[in-house]
Chains A and B, each alone.
Chain A
């Protein structure tokens, strides 16, 4: 192949490059810029190297928030993924009932996030909330503004109610894509329904489940609006996740340097976990047994 000496085709990539620059590279570099400087005001800034990073990494409250964040994300994944798959397996395969199920499932996904927080505040209020009042009348004291455990339970319930439908919809799409012949072959081979799930449905859903897992991990790890509205990080600091803590530093205290360093670390943590999950799931379905 002859190489063009003057390759103008590169200009075709230019629009994409400009868009990506403005949407990702420039904002990210601004954050990097902040994270290595101490800024007192316009024109008054000092280069501080990795000082902010050291501070942030040694911050006890950040460790605490990170631990809570991880605990929350893993609990979310452990409930939502199996629950989503179970719902998808139980859904009707065709007909108007299938359409009805899809619409009902999609409803929570359509509600604005801060509205969801508000809905759950009211839903779990001990005096007038449907859930809160029933539980309290049944003799179980439940108040997410007072008890950390109740706050966590409420947050988990809200998160599961809000996002399990996404997992279910993805899993349902994956299930519907399996050709009928697989089920027929399994029937002829005398496979139990567990074997059908384990050797046909689960492997065939691997692609969509990878997406579901990554999306749910990222989303739950970045969760902000719902807990902010519902608990505001409280009671005390018991539901102060990374994002809430970050906003407190950046907007509340206006410590841009540490907040920027924090953001970068946050970003790298998510990247790391996503990479790990992705690698793990890729390894599950491929490669030969020795």
Chain B
């Protein structure tokens, strides 16, 4: 059990990185609280696995230090760090039985036989592997194999954190739910810090208390699923979380009024103060976009382009003045045909300056 601190971590796979683009991780400075269940979410190639390998010690970062409970472990090898890692594909010692697989990390650390037996039985019980203990690991199904990989981490009583690198990739969809529930169960039972890498937002939201969104080698936001949904701090978070993602409209600012092309959109006064960045964008979740078949106050005249019926809701794509916007309408709600009026409630609109959220009431 441990609180993990990443202190000004930067990493490049190149020997002599010259500019920002050469870094796989640009500047990571964050804390993972003891006992937390975190999901590390981001698209492929954003540095998730690099970050995981740095935490576990498989990779030594080019800059910065890693602290476990305040102790600097940057120079330590993975086996000294009390960390367990579950990989994308189940990693097993094929020639060993399930029992020997689970006992392997303990045997390597010279634990006595009696303790090994007790600990392995306990973990096998928790993972529902007891009936397979004497089977050869290579002959089991993918989900059982992945449980063994997890078990090899859990058997060590001193384990500080478990890192998962997209562990459900090779698991059948109907077993994914089971396995994810098992992970949650293990998390509450052993009260371990868990970091779970994924590019699937549903997986991240169901597993984690806190989601860390990464984009191009940086952490762009860390928060609960609700925070990520309601207050995306970066346009990427808005776009990546939610289906469909947030609408973004390029705009310029004129006092309290945002100008999208030739259309004026009123904003909350608290938002617009002293924002001087180069590129400005309005962001609004499709569920907050109002769609009307007659003129409304501050309504923008536009046209409906298409409707996607998702069963429980409808996603309407509309255009106005050259911009496209998506709105989410109730399954039973009427969708205007052709001409429509779009309303953007000022309290739901976010303003982004250079891709970053302009906080309300910010005093620069």
Is B328 interfacial (CB-CB < 8 Å)? no
* List of A residues within 8 angstroms of B78 by Cβ: 184, 187-188
Say how far B83's CB is from chain A's closest CB, in angstroms: 7
* List of A residues within 8 angstroms of B91 by Cβ: 179, 181-182, 184-185
Is A286 interfacial (CB-CB < 8 Å)? yes
Q: CA separation between A64 and B299, bound complex, in Å?
A: 104
Is A289 interfacial (CB-CB < 8 Å)? yes
Is A195 interfacial (CB-CB < 8 Å)? yes
Q: Mark B68-105, 1 if CB is under 8 A from A, else 0.
A: 00000000011100011101110101111100000011
* List of B residues within 8 angstroms of A203 by Cβ: 93-95
Given contacts A190-B79, A203-B94, A285-B94, contact A185 B136 (CB under 8 A): no
Whether A285 pairs with B79 at a CB distance below 8 angstroms is no
Whether B105 pairs with A190 at a CB distance below 8 angstroms is yes
Give residues of chain B (211-235) contacting chain A, Cβ–Cβ below 8 Å.
Answer: none
Is A273 interfacial (CB-CB < 8 Å)? no
* List of B residues within 8 angstroms of A290 by Cβ: 134
* List of A residues within 8 angstroms of B56 by Cβ: 184, 188
Range class of the B interface residue count: 20 to 34
Say how far B194's CB is from chain A's closest CB, in angstroms: 15
Is B109 interfacial (CB-CB < 8 Å)? yes
Say how far B60's CB is from chain A's closest CB, in angstroms: 13
Whether B97 pairs with A181 at a CB distance below 8 angstroms is no
Is B115 interfacial (CB-CB < 8 Å)? no
Give residues of chain A (194-211) contacting chain B, Cβ–Cβ below 8 Å.
Answer: 195, 199-200, 203-204
Give residues of chain A (114-156) contacting chain B, Cβ–Cβ below 8 Å.
Answer: none
Closest to B83 in A: A188
Q: Mark A233-251, 1 if CB is under 8 A from B, else 0.
A: 0000000000000000000
Q: Mark A156-170, 1 if CB is under 8 A from B, else 0.
A: 000000000000000
Given contacts A187-B58, A199-B93, A288-B134, contact A181 B88 (CB under 8 A): yes
Closest to A182 in B: B91
Is A268 interfacial (CB-CB < 8 Å)? no
Is A6 interfacial (CB-CB < 8 Å)? no
Contact of B87 among A184, A192, A199, A204 (CB under 8 A): A184
Counting chain A CB atoms within 10 Å of each CB, which of B88, B89, B97, B108 scores highest? B108
Q: CA separation between A285 and B95, bound complex, in Å?
A: 6
Range class of the A interface residue count: 20 to 34
Q: CA separation between A182 and B93, bound complex, in Å?
A: 9
Give the secondary structure class of B's interface: mixed
Contact of B104 among A184, A189, A287 (CB under 8 A): A189
Whether A185 pairs with B87 at a CB distance below 8 angstroms is yes
Is B152 interfacial (CB-CB < 8 Å)? yes
Given contacts A189-B79, A189-B105, A290-B134, contact A184 B96 (CB under 8 A): no
Say how far A193's CB is from chain B's closest CB, in angstroms: 12
* List of A residues within 8 angstroms of B84 by Cβ: 188
Contact of A289 among B85, B93, B109, B134 (CB under 8 A): B134
Is B65 interfacial (CB-CB < 8 Å)? no
Whether B85 pairs with A188 at a CB distance below 8 angstroms is yes
Is B135 interfacial (CB-CB < 8 Å)? yes
Counting chain B CB atoms within 10 Å of each CB, which of A187, A189, A286, A290 scores highest? A189
Whether A181 pairs with B87 at a CB distance below 8 angstroms is yes
Q: Mark B233-265, 1 if CB is under 8 A from A, else 0.
A: 000000000000000000000000000000000
Q: CA separation between A95 and B91, bound complex, in Å?
A: 27
Say how far B171's CB is from chain A's closest CB, in angstroms: 16
* List of B residues within 8 angstroms of A288 by Cβ: 97, 134-136, 139
Closest to A200 in B: B93
- Enumerate chain B interface residues (CB-CB to A < 8 A): 53, 56, 58, 77-79, 83-85, 87-89, 91, 93-97, 104-105, 108-109, 134-136, 138-139, 149, 152-153
- Enumerate chain A interface residues (CB-CB to B < 8 A): 179, 181-182, 184-185, 187-192, 195, 199-200, 203-204, 284-290
Question: 10 A–B contact pairs at CB < 8 A?
Answer: A179-B91, A184-B53, A184-B91, A185-B91, A188-B58, A188-B85, A190-B109, A203-B95, A288-B139, A289-B134
